[in-house]
């Protein structure tokens, strides 16, 4: 069985084409629109129907999403023909990473026990930016099970400042102590 090309390879090829055309950010928007369209189960089921020719599927795609660049349409056509429509979210994610890297940005994901106020979000983004040496784009979610504190993921770094982690560490250190 032949290997499937990775989402990273598709994203890199698409990114290089977008750079050549000077439309890197526009194609990011196109990939987002395409990804949103693929959230519709009926649409994905249609694209996966083997009895419908690729040309008919692409005609529907072009009619339904006329604002997309023709090369983004072509990417979808390749994914459809290879039975890899489900890879598009990963391609989009990899494309976003390439764009962030080029623009000196890093994505940070924060989980907090309570919603973060705007001032706290800004200070946290500045602190993380200083830590990694890049501009930070912060995505925050709330998880009340943390009780207090934050869990932050920036790239491959994980900073667990939650109360549950502190209590777990305390429990371990108390278990090791022999007084």
pTM beyond 0.75: the answer is: no
| Residue 137 β-bridge partners | 107
- For residue 174, name the pLDDT band (cuts at 50, 70, 90): confident
pLDDT at 5 (0 to 100) = 66
Q: What is the mean pLDDT of residues 38-64?
A: 91
CA dist., res. 104 & res. 164, Å (int): 33
- Could you give the count of Cα atoms lying within 13 Å of 163 in the half-sphere of its Cβ? 10
Q: Which of 2-11, 31-40, 52-61 has the lowest mean pLDDT?
A: 2-11
pLDDT at 114 (0 to 100) = 84
Give the start-to-end residue ranges of the domains of the chain: 7-100, 106-176
Q: What are the tens digits of pLDDT across the range 103-155?
A: 888 888 898 888 888 888 889 888 888 888 888 888 888 887 777 888 888 87
- 7-100 CATH fold: Peroxidase; domain 1 (1.10.520)
Q: What are the tens digits of pLDDT across the range 76-102?
A: 999 999 888 889 999 999 999 898 888
DSSP-based three-state secondary structure for 9:
helix
């Amino acid at each position: 069985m032949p290997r499937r090309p990775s989402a990273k390879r598709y994203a890199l090829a698409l990114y290089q084409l977008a750079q050549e055309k000077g439309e890197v950010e526009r194609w990011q928007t196109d990939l987002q629109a395409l990804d949103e369209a693929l959230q519709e189960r009926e649409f994905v089921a249609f694209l996966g129907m083997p009895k419908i020719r690729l040309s008919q599927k692409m005609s529907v795609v072009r009619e339904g999403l006329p604002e997309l660049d023709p090369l983004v349409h072509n990417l979808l056509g390749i994914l459809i023909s290879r039975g890899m429509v489900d890879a598009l979210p990963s391609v989009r994610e990899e494309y976003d990473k390439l764009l962030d890297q080029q623009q000196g940005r890093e994505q940070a994901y924060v989980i907090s026990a309570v919603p973060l106020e705007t001032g706290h979000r800004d200070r946290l983004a500045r602190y993380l930016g200083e830590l990694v040496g890049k501009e930070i784009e912060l995505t925050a979610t709330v998880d009340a099970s943390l009780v207090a504190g934050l869990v932050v993921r920036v790239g491959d770094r994980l900073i667990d400042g939650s109360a549950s982690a502190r209590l777990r560490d305390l429990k371990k250190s108390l278990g090791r102590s022999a007084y």
